[in-house]
């Protein structure tokens, strides 16, 4: 049931995004579009509530409960930037908005960009870690929490990878190729 709900939340995320942006730019109803886009967080609230109820009703915590926490964390950390990414492109395509800005390729500007990206991923992982820890406490010492702990280790890995990538761009900035005269 939890996996099906996660899939339904993901599908609903993209449907709400498409409907919200359609209202906003194609139908020229920006307030209605904003109202639809503001319904997105309700998906995570429903997933959180159902997962908590499942654990409360005695379900053994397993990978599905961990996946739900990770999904919520990643939606919190990355959802807004995904909506902004799509919004800029739809505005450009259907409403005469400016073209999307490409990320910088070189130097300090690229390092700053990579730290911002890493910050979003780290936020996602930290939220997931917190939800996973809350689930461990919620289940208590009697329950099987190994699968939740395994998800926590994965989130620490995600944090480490993002720190490595951003740190690499800081310590070894990519230089612009020399131009021939």
- Cβ burial 100-121 (10 Å sphere, 16+ → b, else e): eeeeeeeeeebbeebbebbebb
Distance CA 146, CA 153 (A): 11
Distance CA 73, CA 9 (A): 13
pLDDT (tens digit, 9 = 90+) per residue, 130-146? Answer: 999 999 998 876 668 89
The tokens for 149 are 């702990």
pLDDT (tens digit, 9 = 90+) per residue, 98-111? Answer: 999 999 999 999 99
Q: HSE on the CB side for 161, CA within 13 Å?
A: 9
Average pLDDT, the chain: 93
Pure H helices in the chain: 2-21, 30-37, 40-56, 63-95, 107-139, 146-171
For the chain, give the percent of residues with pLDDT over 90.
Answer: 84
- What's the predicted TM-score (pTM) here? 0.90
**Cα-based distances in Å from 47 to 63, 93, 138:** 15, 33, 16
For the chain, give the percent of residues with pLDDT over 70.
Answer: 98
């Amino acid at each position: 049931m939890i996996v099906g709900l996660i899939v339904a939340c993901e599908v609903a995320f993209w449907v709400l995004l498409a409907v919200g942006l359609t209202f906003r730019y194609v139908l020229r109803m920006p307030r209605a579009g904003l109202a639809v886009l503001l319904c997105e967080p309700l998906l995570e609230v429903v997933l959180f509530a159902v997962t908590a109820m499942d654990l409360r009703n005695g379900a053994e915590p397993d990978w599905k409960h961990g996946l739900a926490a990770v999904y919520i964390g990643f939606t919190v950390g990355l959802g807004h930037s995904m909506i902004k990414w799509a919004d800029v492109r739809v505005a450009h395509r259907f409403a005469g908005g400016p073209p999307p800005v490409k990320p910088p390729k070189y130097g300090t500007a690229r390092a700053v960009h990579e730290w911002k990206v890493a910050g979003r991923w780290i936020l996602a992982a930290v939220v997931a870690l917190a939800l996973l820890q809350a689930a461990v406490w919620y289940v208590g010492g009697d329950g099987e929490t190994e699968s939740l702990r395994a998800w926590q280790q994965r989130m620490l890995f995600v944090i480490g990878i993002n720190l490595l990538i951003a740190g690499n761009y800081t310590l070894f900035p990519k230089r612009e190729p020399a131009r021939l005269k």
